[in-house]
Each structure stands twice: as structure tokens, then as C-alpha cells.
Structure 1
Amino acid sequence: MKVLTLICALLAAPLSAQTPAEAARAASAQLQEAQAALRAAQGRSDRVAALTETVQAYEAGLAALRDGLRRVAIRQRTLETDLAARSDEVARLLGVLQTIGRAPAPILFLHPSGPMGTARSGMMLADVTPALQDEVTALREQIEEVAVLRGLQTDALTVLRAGLDGVQTARSALSAAISDRTDLPQRFLADPVQMAVLLASAQTLDAFAMGLAQTQAGGGPDARTVKGAIPLPVVGQVIRQFNEADAAGVTRPGVLIATRPRALVLTPVSATIRYAGPLLNYGTVVILEPAAGTLWVIAGLAESFGEAGQIVPDGTPIGLMGGVIVDAQAILNESAQGSAGQRTQTLYLEVRDRQGVVNPTDWFAF
């Protein structure tokens, strides 16, 4: 929790308060914290919770580093473009400075028109010299900043590689820890025959969810007390709203959330897993029951965690998104092009209440 709190604090700081270089360094520090958290998680008794925080820390750190490197690349291009545009001005400035530097000091103060001209030229030189010095200082600072930004991008390659290796290790360890978990309460035992019949007979997601709703068991969590203030199960961006038509004109009674590849999906409140596995053409699906008569359909996963009948506490991983994680060099190339990483995966979220579909905004805080 300490690591996650630190990361949230760093991410909450306004980007304008940090220079691109500071943002990149802060992101690198986040990844180093995540590496320390991964080492500490191996020996903790609550390994699932510890590894969940570790994976989240890595995801946040990698996202921040991508954004920091993107800002570094943009700043570097701005400086290099400005220096290139001022190349003539810089050349003239250097010529003046070299001329002044080569001329003996007494000659600089002589003027052909006599003492009056010499006095005037001295006054002009006194006015011009500070301006020239300021210009030289500004140029030197720009050149030094470009060198620092280039160095940051070079150093980031090592940090990125370590971060990508670390998050993969953390995900694998988390998956193994969840498989070995025996402390979750079991609300009911799934009937494999009944589930197989339901899967075989359901032609649509709607039909499957309705059939599942008719096999409710008594008791279970009740998230209605926090209804409307529940966070989304994955970090991402809503790209299609409830009943909004897609490019083909098809509408679906849920929302579509764009996420980064291999993003961790959590249950935001305590809920019963009603189903976890492949379903029709929706990929891997997890259906949660956060309250009696309410089902959350979470579709589009690559992997699911947990079994039907288990009651999972809030913040428990229920799956991973699909996609391919590009290597460190590819991320660096993306950043150099001004990209902070694309959200290439989509998670579908549908809410069913008393066998009818409702707008997810009734439950979730968007």
C-alpha cells in the first residue's frame, strides 16, 4: 500500500509542475519502487494483495515513463528546431564574440572620429555586451538541456527493460498466487452440467446472462450502498457509451473501455464470481454479482482469475487484458514520435439489474 500511495501521489502532481526531464526521472523512481515492492511481495503472507499492488505499481510507472519520455522527445524537438532556425543568428553572434575576443583591449575603445566617437562607441559596446552575454547564456542552457534530454532517453532504455521484465515477473507470480489461493469464501459450488447446458443453449450474451440470473443463490455481498461511486474495473478510457452506435451502426447495452495491453482488471467491490471463462465471441468473460439480482458482465479479457461461486473482496484481480507488450526499444521509438503508448485493447462492461440491462453510469463513477 505504501508503494501504491507514493505512486498515486506522484501521478496526482500536475504535469505542468514538472519539467520533461523531472517527469522522466520521477517515473524512473516509480519503477525502482515497483522493483523493491516485487522483492518484498515474495515473502509476504498476503501475496495476492502484495503482488496486485506491485503489478499496479509497475503499470503506473511504465505509463508515467512513457508519458515522461514523450514529453522529453517533444521538448528536445522544440529546442533542436529552435536552434536550427536560429543558426544564422548564432553564427553572427559567434563571429562578433570572436572578433571582440581577438582585438586588443585598447583598440576596442578607439574610434576614427576622435574622442567623441570613442566615447559613443564605448557606450554602445557597454549596452550591447550584456545583451550578447545573455544570448550566449540562453543558447548554452538550451544546448545543455538538449544534451541532458538525449542522455535521459539513452538511460531510459535500461530502466524500461528492467520495468518490462519486472511487470512480467509480477504478473506471472500473481497468476500463480491466485491459483494457489485457498482463503476465499465459497458462496456456492458451480454445477458443471448445468453450466455446460447453459453455455450450449445460449446464442447471445443476453440469453446467457438471463439464464445465469435465474440460477441465483441466496446471500452474498451487497454493493448497493456505494452505487454510483464505484471505480471502473480497469484503468482506461471509455470510447463508447451505453447504447452508442459503433462505426457499423451497431449498438450494445454497455460501455467500451480502451486499455493498454496486458492491463490488470480488478473487481472494484466485493462480489461473487458467477462465471469465468470463454463465452461466444466475447473472448474470456467474467460475470460478477455485486448485489442480489445484479450482474456485471466484463468481457474481452485474455485471462480470467477465480472460479464460479467464490466471493472476491474489492481490489481482487479477476483477469488480464490481451495484447502484446512491445520491447523497450519500440517504446522508446514510440516516445520519440510523440506517442505515450496506445490503448489497443478494449474491455466491454455491461450491467444487468433484475434481468434487465441498465446504464453502467448508474453504478460506476465515470
Structure 2
Amino acid sequence: MIRLLAFALLVWPICAAAETAATTQARAAAAELETAAEMLDKAEGARDRVMALTETIQAFEKGLGAMRDGLRQAAINEAQLSKKLQSRDGEVAQLFGVLQSIGGNPSPTAFLHPDGPVGTARAGMLLAELTPALNRQANALRRDLEDVQTLRLLQVDAAERLQAGLTQVQAARTALNQAMANRTELPTRFTADPVRTAILIASTETLDGFASGLAEIITDEVEPAPVTLQGRIGELPLPVQGLVLRRAGQADAAGVKRPGIIMATRARAIVTSPAAATIRYTGPLLDFGNVVILEPEARTLFVLAGLDVVYGEAGQVIAGGTPIGLMGEKDARQAAESGTSLSPDREGTGTDRTETLYIEVRRDNIPQDPEAWFRTEKDE
């Protein structure tokens, strides 16, 4: 009995704390998704629908990420608590047996003791001392079982909210695609010559060579507006929500080292311009997939490679935070078909971030460390 009581006193505070943390996290994530849904409704009638939809999608991505994390934590806590309870089935049965014998109707023989009246008195005193402890242990076990039920209900609710959020964010992305197609008011600094661009792509074997030849594809260039990053280097927002997967100069599995960083992102994540900039190039390039090259100030280029969908045209001047594309979703579609896209075992492990965005910064055509330009210590 003492062993049973020690178990109850040990396990209950841990389980209660874990359940509270998971519930709080899921509740906060649900609030973020509700806020994003409200933003989507407002974006439908917003004057600048592109920026409104961009903010909505970013809010959804943040809320969905938090909901995934909350769902995963709830599943972990529920599994741990259930495992602890299952491992002590025998002790629980003993406890219930003792409590039932205490709670039953006493018979005259229950007060008899082999040692006579003194033994009976001692047994009664011991029983009186143990009864409150046993009751407390029973209450603790009952709360543990209630916690398991709460966590299971939490997972069901979180999964439903997650699925609804995924549907809404897809609607927002579709609306953004249409809004970007209808946008015609962007100022233009220059016109890209398609023939020269094609020749440059065909003759280029490296990103370095392509970047150095960008000036050759420009016609009808207009004097650029005075844009500077002075005082903002090191504080620029990352163009996508994700995690730094590989740093500049760090070799990949094939031993290849690149001067940029690689961000691991979730499927269909929105990519935005870190600052006001001129689009120097958009489209496929070498083996990088779709590439967007931005010029935030003279002699400085941001190279973003690995996108699935790209927005804008070379020569257009865009504001900071303007969407420039979306990441792919091929792996996400495969996960959905196999039923693992909502699996809590995938969340928080990095396997849910199936896409990668390559980010390179070049000044005077010399690669710079992107982590010295962007805020990477607060990755989502």
C-alpha cells in the first residue's frame, strides 16, 4: 500500500503539469487560427488584397504550426500517461480491492483479530491512518484517467481545427494567385530582354556567372529610386517561415558547399521580399528550380531558389513583405495520400518541413553570409 501511495504522489504532479501545458498550447494555437480566419474574411474586401492575403497566409502558417505542435504534445502526453497507468494495472487492482473492502458494510467478524482486543485496536488505528492516504491515491488515479480522456478529446478537436485551417489557408493561397494575376500597378525600373535572358541562361553554368551577367539583359532602364539597407543589415526578416537546415559553407550529404543557407519549410509556405527591392529575375535557373533574384539596393542581390510558384516580373519594384512565390507541395501530397500528413509523429521532428529554400546574399558579386543579414535566431 505504501508503494501504491508513493506512486500516486510521484506521478500525478507530472501528469497534471504536462496536460496543462498541452491544453494551453492548443488553446493558443486555436486562437491564432481563429484570428487568421477573421483576417481571411476581411481580406476579401480589402483594398490592397495582395498584402491582406499575404498577412492572412502568414497568420495561418503560424497558427497551423502552433496547432501541429500542440497536437503532437497532446499525443505524447496522452501516450506517456496511458503507458504509466497500464504498467501499474496490478497495483491499481490492489488499490481498488482495498478501497472496496473498506467501503463495504462491516460484519461482526471484521472486528475480530487473532491477537484479541489489543490487536483489533491496533489494526483499527492503522486502518484509520491509511484510509485518507488510500482515498487520496484513488482520487489521483481518477484524475489521471480524466486527463487521458481530456487529452484524447483535445487531439480530436485539434485535428479538426487543423484540417479546417488547411482548407482555409488553401483558399487564401488561391485568392492570392488571382490577386497577383490581376495586379498591374507596380512601377517598373527596366525591361528585361527575353532574347538576351535566354542566351545568358543557356551560356551560364553557375549562379555566380548568371548573377554577374544580369546587367546585360536590361533595356530601357530608368534611374532607380533611392533605396538603402543602411541600419537594417542583421535585422531583415527571413523571407519564409522555417528552420535553418544548413548554414553557409556547410557541406551537404554530397560534400557540396554553397555560400548561402538552406531553410527547411513546410509545403506551400509563402515566400516574401525581405525589403523593398527591384526584381532582377524570376523563373527556372540551372538545377535550382524556380529562382527569384532581388536587388534591394545598388550592387546587392538576394537570391532565393527552390520555389514552386513565382510572382512578379523582372524590372518591377516591390515593397518589403510583398509575396514573391510559394514553396512546393509534392511531398505533402504524397504524405496526404499515405495518411501521414496529420500524423503527430511527424511534427516537430523536421520531417513535416518537406521543402527547402536556398538563400544567398551577394554584394558586388561577392557572396555574403546570409545569417549576418537576416534575423535567424527566432526561426519559426
TM-score, scaled relative to structure 1: 0.89
| 8 A Cα contact 2:71 2:159, kept in partner | no
Among 290, 293, 298, the residue aligned to 2:304? 298
1:260: which partner in 2?
266
Deviation at 1:273, TM superposition (A): 0.6
Q: What residue in structure 2 maps to residue 307 of structure 1?
A: 313
- The structure-2 alpha-carbon separation of the partners of 1:76 and 1:311, relative to structure 1 and needing over 3 Å to count, comes to same
Partner of 2:195: 193
Instruction: Output aligned runs, 1:319-334, within 5 Å.
Output: 319-324=325-330, 325=332, 326-327=335-336, 330-334=340-344
Query: Does structure 1 residue 355 correspond to structure 2 residue 365?
Result: yes
1:214 to partner: Cα distance: 5.5
8 Å Cα contact 1:273-1:288 kept in structure 2:
yes
Task: Quote the offset at 1:243 in angstroms.
Answer: 1.7
Q: What is the aligned residue count?
A: 352
Deviation at 1:199, TM superposition (A): 1.9
Query: Alpha-carbon deviation of 1:46?
Result: 1.4
Give, in whole Å, the separation in 1 of the partners of 2:155 and 2:351.
16
- Deviation of 1:20 after TM superposition, in Å, equals 1.0
Range with bigger deviation, 270-279 or 17-26: 17-26
CA contact (8 A) 1:236 1:257 kept: yes
**Deviations 1:239-290 (CA, angstroms, capped at 9, x unpaired):** 2211222122211121111111111111111111111111111100000001
Which residue of the partner structure matches residue 365 of structure 1?
Answer: 375
Structure 1 partner of 2:4: none
CA distance in 2, matches of 1:284, 1:275: 10
Deviation per CA, 1:190-218: give whole Å up to 9, x if none: 22232222222222211111101566754
2:87 equivalent in structure 1: 85
CA distance in 1, matches of 2:343, 2:58: 24
Structure 1, 153-162 or 246-255: larger mean CA deviation = 153-162
Residues 35, 107 of structure 1: alpha-carbon distance in 2 compared, 3 angstrom cutoff: farther
Name the residue aligned to 1:280. 286
Kept in 1, the 8 Å contact 2:282–2:312? The answer is: yes
Map 1:147-166 to 2 at 5 A. 147-166=149-168
Verify: 1:230 aligned to 2:232, yes or no.
no
Q: Distance in 2 between matches of 1:202 and 1:111?
A: 98
Cα distance in 1, alignment partners of residues 46 and 53 from structure 2: 9
Distance change (3 Å), C-alpha of 1:350 and 1:106 = same
Deviation of 1:341 after TM superposition, in Å, equals 5.4
Cα RMSD between the aligned structures?
2.4
Q: Share of identical aligned residues, percent?
A: 51
Aligned counterparts of 1:352 and 1:18: Cα–Cα separation in 2: 47
SS across alignment from 1:275: strand
SS of equivalent residue, structure 2 residue 340: helix
Structure 1: distance between partners of 2:347 and 2:314: 45
Whether the aligned pair in 2 keeps the contact of 1:228 and 1:365 (CA below 8 Å) is: yes
Which residue number corresponds to residue 118 of structure 1? 120
Partners of 1:263 and 1:239 in 2: CA distance: 16
Does the Cα contact within 8 Å between 1:270 and 1:311 map onto a contact in 2?
yes
* SS at 1:161 equivalent: helix
Offset of 1:106 from its aligned partner? Answer: 6.7
SS in 1 for 2:231: helix
Most deviating of 338-347 and 273-282? 338-347
1:219 aligns with 2:221: no
Match of 2:14 in 1: none
1:27-86 per-position Cα deviation (integer Å, ceiling 9, x unaligned): 223222222221111011011111111111111111111110110111011111110111
Counterpart Cα distance in 2 of 1:338 and 1:103: 54
Say whether residues 1:251 and 2:261 are aligned partners. no
CA distance in structure 2 between the partners assigned to 1:194 and 1:346 by the alignment: 29
Identify the range of structure 1 (206-215 vs 173-182) with the bigger mean alpha-carbon deviation. 206-215
CA contact (8 A) 1:224 1:291 kept: no
CA contact (8 A) 1:27 1:64 kept: yes
Mapped contact 1:264–1:319 kept (Cα < 8 A): yes
- After the TM superposition, which residues 17-56 of structure 1 pair with which residues of structure 2 at under 5 Å, given as runs? 19-56=21-58
Whole-angstrom distance in 1 between the partners of 2:31 and 2:303: 37
In structure 1, what is the equivalent of residue 356 of structure 2? 346
Are the counterparts in 1 of residues 68 and 347 from structure 2 also a CA contact under 8 Å? no
SS state at 2:191 partner? coil
2:350 and 2:157 map into 1 onto residues whose CA distance is: 17
Partner of residue 207, structure 2: 205
Residue 124 (structure 1) shift: 0.8
Describe the shift of the 1:332–1:108 C-alpha distance in structure 2 as closer, same or farther (beyond 3 A).
farther
Give, in angstroms, the shift of residue 327 of structure 1.
Answer: 4.1
Task: State the partner residue of 2:170.
Answer: 168
- Judge which range, 68-77 or 235-244, deviates more: 235-244
